[in-house]
Amino acid sequence: MFKRPHARQPHPQPLSKGEGSDMLQDTPASTNNAPAITPAEHSQPHPQSDMLQDTLASTNNAPAITPAEHSTHQPHPQSDMLQDTLTSTNNAAAITPAEHSTPLSYGEGLGVRLLFVFDLCREQAGLKDVDINSRGSRHNSLLAILSVGAARLLSETEAMAVVAQRMPDFYKEPDCRQLIHDFYAKYHDDSKIMSATVQRINARAEQLAQQQQGKDEKAHDDECDDEAETSETATPANPTNAESTIPPIPGLKQSLTGVPEQMRMPALCALLPMAAAYADDVTFRYCDGREQRLGLMSIVVGEQASGKSVCKDIIDLWRQPMDEDDEQGRRKEDEWKKKRKNRRANEKLDPEPEVLIRDVPITISCSTLLKRLKNAQGHTLYSFCSELDTLRKTNGAGSWSSKYDIYRLAFDHDEWGQDYNSDQAESGMVSVGYNWTILGTYGALGKCFKGENIENGLSSRVIVSEMPDSAFAPMPTFQDRKDRDAQAILDAVGTLRAKHGFVDTPRLRKAIAQWVEDKRQQALQRIDRVMDTYRRRAAVIGMRCGVVACLLSGEMETKHVIDFALMMAEYVLQEQCRLFGDVLRKQYAADADDTRRNSKNRAVFDRLADTFTSHDILALKTDITDSTARNIIRRWHEAGWVVPVPRQKGEKSRKYKKTKAQPSQCRTVAPSHL
């Protein structure tokens, strides 16, 4: 039911010196003094690093490559280009140290960006420290790099050129070019939304390319620099610099120190409910004008032994002050229970102490949870569970099954209660302030979030994040957290606990309102009910995460705070749609008595003819009813996208015509700080 990342194959041979993330320091630098290649010179020796620019230049107007053309050697413009490229690669001259220190020319900015994209995707695929050119595994290595985002950010022609640079031996074989062509033919779709990971890679590549261009211009203007300074100028920024990807939010940045790059987003998602629980006396105004509180819940999912314990290590640091406060209350409660157990038959016992205990186990019973909430004095409770399967087993039947209802109420701090005649059970009504973080496997997630818990709204209230795929991956390396980082975390806890009352965030509110409107138009254009459903609470979650960041930043709505909120909203939407979208879509289809659904994720509006009827929409989108199609047309008409066509005599269905006004494009968020 739930999608897993593609498994990677082992790559036993380590990178030699100059490979991995340092490749960018050599390849672009060697291309500056190379002469331009004319068509007659394709078969002559030339530096291999010039191949990228020549390949891109020679393929702008080339027709698409068919599988037949890949497998044969028939004359074809693009096939000739590839053969010429291979010929020039085979006879390429060796790159000398002097060529390494040569800065990039001004016309190579595009090629440098493509190289950055490839290398960042290689790192995202977990292949930074392995030899991607190793025989027996290079096929899967290239598949992994294309799958994580390279095929989304590079055209097929650009991918061919970059692979020729980064995997020259493999590129010489026809199987490599056939693999790239088949991958793009089957999986490449520009109409799909960019995932948060692809957005981060794209933003980082653009940033590095701009930095490189600035360094090249500086090197060109300063002719008096010595060779060492020129070499330093020609060195591209390190795309694997982890510090630049940490969101510059006090407390959050230090929490992720020492955590491997690919695990930082799951660790951040696990941390946010804990941070929000400390700011439990803060309210803010959402885009709809109503005040809200900081209720957050998150689930981090991954295969067994995928490194989910990194989340627990960070949570333990953050909940240390809460546990210290709870220790006194638990000691009083234990003393009273001991006295009750040892009291005599007629001995009068003091009433049970009403103690404040906020850190509660996820397996807490409904009666005990009610008691804790009654004694919470307005504070938010918090639970951490390292196994989602534990929650599923305890909440499986009986009164425990109502815990799922409590979780939904906790998202908005709604009221919940119960009444029993027995004095042994707790009775009363409370406002549910309850945040939690749970770790689990895909199997447990599938059992816990079946059709019922997805359709009833619990799935849209949860931040869900995936650990990186650990299949055949090298062991991740963690770094020690410094004392000043631990102190910064404790200072962040103190900052959140000290905040009280209403916090006004007009800039954040405006940004989230624009984001959710963009997603509404995008969902309307695609007639994607799943996206339309999940976008609403994804915006709420993003806003709440932004408020937490704002509090940690001294209640200042900085650009980092705005970017952080938009990044979280986008990430939550993508993960919810990917993990829960199919199940929710099937539920919608079942409700409409139509089990067929259109798997094409492209804009229905663009696929319609200039003049169409509601029956044309039903033919393209089989999981909606006729009344839904008419309602969609009505909204298109209100948005100015279509106008009704006067009915002709004998026409049964009303026709509509597209206007010149096209649907506005959704704004994508480039989370450059995570």
- 488 and 576 co-located in one domain: yes
Measured between alpha carbons, how far is 314 from 307 in angstroms, rounded to an integer? 13
Per-residue pLDDT at 567:
93
Distances in whole angstroms, Cα of residue 358 to Cα of each of 296, 436, 540, 575, 588: 15, 11, 24, 29, 38
Name the pLDDT band for 669 (thresholds 50, 70, 90). very low
Question: Residue 282: what pLDDT?
Answer: 95
CA distance 625 to 589: 10
Is 191 a residue whose pLDDT tops 60? yes
- Decide if 89 is inside a domain: no
Tell me the percentage of the chain whose pLDDT exceeds 90. 30
Q: Is 148 a domain residue?
A: yes
Tell me: the pLDDT tens digits for 51-63? Answer: 444 444 444 444 4
**Neighbour order of strands in the sheet with 297-301:** 381-385, 434-440, 297-301, 463-466
In a domain, 104, yes or no: no
Q: Which two tokens stand for residue 527?
A: 């007639």
For the stretch 473-479, contacts whose Cβ atoms lie closer than 8 Å and that sit 24 or more positions apart, written own/partner, are 473/8, 473/126, 474/126, 474/129, 474/130, 476/260, 476/262, 476/263, 476/307, 477/260, 478/258, 478/259, 478/260, 478/310, 479/257, 479/258
The pLDDT value recorded for residue 574 is: 92
pLDDT of 73 > 70? The answer is no
Where is pLDDT greater, at 400 or 195? 195
Query: Same domain, yes or no, for 427 and 297?
Result: yes
Residue 664, classed as helix, strand or coil, is: coil
pLDDT at 338: 86
* CATH number of the domain encompassing residue 637: 1.10.10.10
The DSSP bridge partners found for residue 463 are 298
Based on the domain organization, do 386 and 527 belong to the same domain?
yes
What's the distance, CA 568 to chain centroid?
A: 8
**Could you say which of 583, 616, 641 is where a domain stops?**
583
Band of the pLDDT at 552, cuts 50, 70, 90?
very high
Residue 7 has pLDDT above 60, yes or no: no
39 falls within a domain: no
Q: Which amino acid is at 539?
A: A
Question: Is 182 found in the same domain as 119?
Answer: yes
- Of the chain, the percentage scoring pLDDT greater than 70 comes to 73
Same domain, 357 and 420: yes
pTM of the full structure: 0.57
Report the pLDDT value the prediction gives residue 27, as an integer from 0 to 100: 37
Average pLDDT over residues 585-590: 76
Which CATH number fits the domain that encloses residue 384?
3.40.50
Q: Is the Cβ–Cβ distance between 542 and 514 less than 8 Å? A: no
Same domain, 282 and 403: yes
Please tell me the distance from the alpha carbon of residue 250 to that of residue 246, in angstroms, as a whole number. Answer: 11
Tell me, rounded to whole angstroms, the distance of Cα 349 from its chain centroid: 55
Give the chain's domain count: 3
> Do residues 609 and 648 lie in contact, with contact meaning Cβ atoms separated by under 8 Å?
no
Q: Say yes or no to pLDDT of 65 above 80.
A: no
Report the range of poorest mean pLDDT among 131-140, 512-521, 555-564, 665-674: 665-674
pLDDT band at 220 (very low <50, low <70, confident <90, very high): low
Q: Are 495 and 552 in contact (CB under 8 A)?
A: yes
Q: What is the mean pLDDT of residues 28-52?
A: 39
* DSSP of 72-126: S----HHHHHHHHHHHHHHTPPPPPHHHHTPPPPGGGHHHHHHHHHHHHHHHHTT
Q: Do 388 and 505 fall within a single domain?
A: yes
**Is the distance from CB of 494 to CB of 278 less than 8 angstroms?**
no
What is the mean predicted confidence (pLDDT) over 580-599? 65
Average pLDDT of span 341-345: 79
Q: Say yes or no: 206 and 272 in one domain.
A: no
- Residues 403, 540, single domain; the answer is yes
584 burial type by CB count under 10 A (0-12 exposed, 13-18 middle, 19+ buried) = buried
In the predicted model, is pLDDT for residue 432 greater than 50?
yes
Q: Does residue 144 sit in the same domain as residue 263?
A: no
> Does residue 105 belong to any structural domain of this protein?
no
Among 275-279, 407-411, 476-480, 659-663, name the one with the lowest average pLDDT. Answer: 659-663
What pLDDT is stored for residue 660 in this prediction?
66
What is the pLDDT, as a whole number, of residue 101?
30
Rounded average pLDDT over 275-296: 94
Tokens (6 digits) for 84: 């010429």
Name residue, tokens 């999912």. 301
Angle at 392 between CA 390 and CA 393, to 5 degrees: 70
User: Would you place residue 603 in the very low, low, confident or very high pLDDT band (cuts 50, 70, 90)?
Assistant: low
Q: Is the pLDDT of residue 465 over 80?
A: yes
For residue 653, give both structure tokens: 């269905």
Greater confidence (44 vs 537) lies with: 537
Give the per-residue pLDDT at 216.
63
User: Mean pLDDT across the stretch 547-569?
Assistant: 93
76-129 tens-digit pLDDT: 434 343 343 333 333 333 333 333 333 333 334 447 888 889 999 998 888 888
664 occurs within a structural domain:
no
Higher-pLDDT residue of 390, 596: 390
Residue 291: strand pairing partners: 285
Q: Is the pLDDT of residue 17 over 50?
A: no
46, 270, 440, 545 from 466: Cα distances, Å: 45, 11, 10, 18
Based on its alpha-carbon atoms, the radius of gyration of the chain, rounded to whole angstroms, reads 29
Q: Tally helices (H) and strands (E) across the chain.
A: 29, 12
- What local confidence, expressed as pLDDT, does residue 401 receive? 61
Rounded Cα distance between 283 and 20, Å, is 47
pLDDT of 545 over the 70 cut: yes
Query: Which position has the higher pLDDT, 413 or 214?
Result: 413
298 domain-assigned: yes
Domain membership of residue 300 (yes or no) is yes
3-state secondary structure of 192: coil
- What pLDDT does 222 receive? 52
**Amino acid in the structure at residue 68:** A
The pLDDT of residue 130 is above 70 = yes
Task: State whether 284 and 407 are in the same domain.
Answer: yes
| pLDDT of 276 over the 70 cut | yes
Q: How far is CA 308 from CA 67, 384, 444, in A?
A: 42, 13, 14
Q: In what order do the strands lie in the sheet with 642-645?
A: 611-612, 655-658, 642-645
Of the ranges 105-119, 146-160, 336-350, the best mean pLDDT one: 146-160
Contact indicator for 383, 436 with CB cutoff of 8 Å: yes
Q: Which domain holds residue 613?
A: 608-658
Q: Are residues 448 and 509 in the same domain?
A: yes
Predicted pLDDT of residue 111? 74
pLDDT at 235: 33
* pLDDT score at 189: 79
Closest CA to 302 of 269, 277, 273: 269
Residue 344 pLDDT > 90: no
Give the lowest-confidence range in 289-298, 418-427, 488-497: 418-427
The predicted model gives 650-671 an average pLDDT of 62
Distance of alpha carbon 631 from alpha carbon 629, whole angstroms: 5
CA distance 450 to 584: 9
**How far is Cα 600 from Cα 61, in angstroms, rounded to an integer?**
29
